[in-house]
Amino acid sequence: MIEKRHIIKCVEEGSIAEELGITSGDILISINDTRPKDIFDYEFLIHDCEITVIIRKPDGEEWELEIEKDFSEDLGIEFEEGLMDSYNSCRNKCMFCFIDQMPKGMRETLYFKDDDARLSYLQGNYITLTNLKDEDIDRIILYKLAPINISVHTTNKELRARMLKNRFAGDALEKIQKLYENGIEMNSQIVCCKGYNDGKELERTIKDLFDYMPYMLSLSIVPVGLTKFREGLAPLEKFEKDDAREVLDIIHKYQAQFLEQSGTRFVHASDEWYLIAELPIPDAEVYEGYGQIENGVGMIRSLIDEFEEYYDTLKGNDRKKTVSIATGKLAAPTIKDLTSKLVQKFPNVKVHVYTIINDFFGPDITVAGLLTGQDIMKQLKGKELGEYLILPSALLRSGEEVLLDDYTLTDLEKTLGTKIRIVQSDGKSLIDTII
C-alpha cells in the first residue's frame, strides 16, 4: 500500500529527476535507506547535498541513484497522492459540522471529514488537535510545519468537549501550549454558535488565544452555517442582525485593545457578520494583509479595492455587449454595486446580476461556493443571460468543471442556452471577464 502511494505522477521538465531518467509511473522506494512515510518525510530527507535514492521502474527493475545537489534543491517529482499517505479523518461529532448537515446521495468524497495536521500545512485546512498523538506534535516541531491552522471554537475545556462531542476535546487544547513553546506559528478560528460560545465565552476565548502571541498569528470568527438538513442534530439558531452586532462589538473592542497593546488587531470577523449586521465592510488596513481571506475574512473588501484600482486605469469605450453574473446572496449586493459603476464608464455594456437562493441547502446558506448546478439552472432558466453567463470559480471542484451536485458547466450551458465563463475572486478578473 505504501508503494502505491509513492507512485510518481509526473516529473518537472529540466529537473534533477528528469536528468536521471525518473519518469511517470516509477515508484520511490527509499532515500538514504529510509522509506518516507509521507510528503514531509520526503521533503526532510531530500534536504541534503548528497543523497541516495532508490527508484523501482514499472518492470520491477530497481535503480540506485547517487545524487549531488544544492542543500535545498528539489528533485522535481510530483506524486500520484500528494500526501504520500492516507488522510486522517475527524474523530469528533461537532454540533455545527457542515458535513453532518448534508443530504444523502451526494458523491462519497463530500462526506469525508479530514482532521489532518499535514493538510493544515499544505492546504490551509483547520484541525481540532483531537486527532494528534504526541509523536504527531513532535513531527510538526521537527519539520517546522507552520503555520498550523487550529479550529479552537472555545478555550473552555468543558464547553469544547460538549460542542465537539468528544470528551478529550478540551484536553487537546494543551497541544497549543507545546506548539507555542517550540515556536510553531499558528492561526486559529472560532465557529460561533448562538447561545454556546458567543458573549462572555467568546471574550474568554479571544483573550486566552491572544496570550499565545506572537506565535498565534491571528484569530478569525465566523458564524455557524445552518442547512435545512438538521434533523436529529443539536438545535442551533441562526444569528440575526442584533446578534451579529453584539459579536462585532466584542471583536471591535478587542481589536482596538490589541492594536494599542501589540500593534496588531489579532482577531478578525468574517464578512458575513457585517452583512448580517447591515454594517459597512471595514477598510483594508483592518485586515492587516488578509491573512485569513480564505476563511472569508476581508474577501469583499479585497474585491472592492482591486476593482477600484483597476477601474481607475481603464478608458471607456462604446462597445456593445450584454452579459450576466450569478452569485450567492452574500456577494450579490457588492457585485451589483461594482457592475453599476463599471457601466458608467462602459455605457453600452449591460450586466444582469442574478442572486441565486440556495434552495438545495436552504436559504440561510448564502456563500457562492455552496451553490449547486440545479439551483442555478432552475432560477436562471428563461432569464436574459446575454452573450455569456459569468460564474465564480468557488463553485467548481478543484481542477475540474464540476459543481457540488455533480452538474458540469456543459450541463449548465445546454440547459440555459448560453456560454459560461468562470471568474476568479479578484476585482481585476471581474472587470476583464465582463468587458
Cα separation, 230 vs 159, in Å, equals: 21
- Tell me the average pLDDT across 143-149: 88
Kindly list the distances between the CA atom of residue 251 and the CA atoms of 286, 302, 330, 333, 407, in Å, as whole numbers in the listed order. Answer: 12, 20, 21, 24, 39
SS3 content of the chain, % helix, strand, coil (to 5): 40, 20, 45
Mean pLDDT (the chain) is 91
What are the DSSP calls for 187-212, one per residue?
EEEEEE-TTTTSHHHHHHHHHHHHTT
Cα separation, 116 vs 315, in Å, equals: 49
pLDDT at 2: 53
Cα separation, 151 vs 153, in Å, equals: 6
Cα separation, 374 vs 390, in Å, equals: 16
pLDDT at 419: 96
* Interval 408-430: pLDDT, tens: 999 999 999 999 999 998 999 99
pLDDT at 39: 82
CA angle, residues 239, 243, 249, in degrees to nearest 5: 130
What are the DSSP calls for 272-285, one per residue?
HHHHHHT-PPPPGG
Weakest-pLDDT range from 114-118, 144-148, 240-244: 114-118
Nearest to 386 by CA among 420, 359, 355: 420
Residue 98: pLDDT band (50, 70, 90) is confident
* Interval 299-352: pLDDT, tens: 999 999 999 999 999 998 888 999 999 999 999 999 999 999 999 999 999 999
Weakest-pLDDT range from 46-55, 106-115, 264-273: 106-115
Reply yes or no: is the peptide bond before residue 214 cis, omega within 30 of 0: yes
Residue 120: pLDDT band (50, 70, 90) is low
Nine-digit cell at 8? 510518481
Q: What percent of the chain is predicted at pLDDT more than 90?
A: 74
DSSP structural state of residue 10: E
- Can you tell me whether residue 63 is helix, strand or coil? strand
pLDDT at 101: 86
* Interval 252-262: pLDDT, tens: 999 999 999 99
- Tell me the average pLDDT across 226-245: 93
Cα separation, 368 vs 329, in Å, equals: 8
* Interval 346-405: pLDDT, tens: 999 999 999 999 999 999 999 998 999 999 999 999 999 999 999 999 888 777 899 989
Cα separation, 4 vs 9, in Å, equals: 11
Cα separation, 133 vs 265, in Å, equals: 32
Cα separation, 171 vs 64, in Å, equals: 46
Strand order of the β-sheet with 50-56 is 27-31, 50-56, 62-68
With b meaning 16 or more CB within 10 Å and e meaning fewer, what string describes 34-43? eebebbbbbe
Higher per-residue pLDDT: 85 or 3: 85
Backbone angles phi, psi at 119, to 5 degrees: -70, -30
pLDDT at 110: 66
- Tell me the average pLDDT across 190-194: 97
Q: What percent of the chain is predicted at pLDDT more than 70?
A: 95
Which helix (H) or strand (E) covers residue 17, if one does? helix 16-19
pLDDT at 152: 97
Higher per-residue pLDDT: 101 or 419: 419
Question: Over 90: is that where the pLDDT of 118 sits?
Answer: no
DSSP structural state of residue 168: T
- Can you tell me whether residue 103 is helix, strand or coil? coil
Nearest to 226 by CA among 217, 214, 216, 235: 235
* Interval 147-161: pLDDT, tens: 999 999 999 999 999
Residue 38: pLDDT band (50, 70, 90) is confident
The structural domains of the chain, ordered by start, are 2-79 (2.30.42.10), 99-297 (3.80.30.10), 304-434 (3.40.50)
pLDDT at 54: 94
Count CB neighbours of 154 within 10 A: 27
3-state SS record for 379-417: HHCCCCCCCEEEEEHHHCCCCCCECCCCCEHHHHHHHHC
Cα separation, 184 vs 140, in Å, equals: 8
DSSP structural state of residue 87: P
